[in-house]
Amino acid sequence: MLLNFYIFSLAILLALLEIQIEGREGWAKNLPAWRPHSGSLAARWYRKFMSGKELTGYHAVLLAFIFLVFLFPYAWGVRLDLFNFFKTVSLFFFFAVLWDFLWFVLNPHYSLKKFHRRHISWHLKWIGRAPADYYYGIGLSFAAAFLGSFVVGTDLLSWWIWHAAAFGLEVIITVLFTLYILKIDTWIRDN
């Protein structure tokens, strides 16, 4: 339970930090971030794996930093074995989805009213009401747990289902808190 709450808390704090950095404009649109030539190998690979999104130095460094945060326990002596590796990878992919979605939930310029493809230009591919990246991230998270169950021989699927349910409940509580306590949809009025 503590691990789940800790990961969710990190997602909230990172979403809030990014809101302070990016403000109204997502995907580092107005930041003085490094952007490679769109035809470069790095930019092409990034677009391929990130549903068409532009590679920015801001996001490259931030993703690397976050992955190192997830590996931090191993630097302190937690045994890096296959069991822990699959759990870490699974949580990392789930975290990426939580962090991104919470950016919209907590951002007074967007909130849930604007969580739609017509308001979010950097999420180019959508499946239903959510960016395709969310399905990919949760799918990769599940795949890591599923594969880990076979490789390690331990039931990581039950572990994953429990965490997914807990994350879902935490998201619902956060959404309700922002709507009814913070009244975040009234922070900034549309002109």
- Note the pLDDT tens digit of each residue in 78-93: 999 999 999 999 999 9
* pLDDT of 191 strictly over 50: no
User: φ, ψ for residue 171 (rounded to 5)?
Assistant: -65, -45
pLDDT, residue 109, reads: 83
pLDDT, residue 190, reads: 47
The pTM is what? 0.90
Task: Report yes or no: 92 and 40 within 8 Å, Cβ to Cβ.
Answer: no
Per-residue pLDDT tens over the stretch 116-130: 899 898 999 999 999
Residue 188's pLDDT band (boundaries 50, 70, 90)? low
- Say how far apart CA 42 and CA 34 lie, in whole Å: 13
User: φ, ψ for residue 180 (rounded to 5)?
Assistant: -105, -25
Residue 101's pLDDT band (boundaries 50, 70, 90)? very high
Q: Where are the domains of the chain?
A: 2-24+81-186
pLDDT, residue 86, reads: 96
- Say how far apart CA 97 and CA 175 lie, in whole Å: 15
Lowest mean pLDDT of 11-15, 34-38, 103-107, 158-162, name the range.
34-38
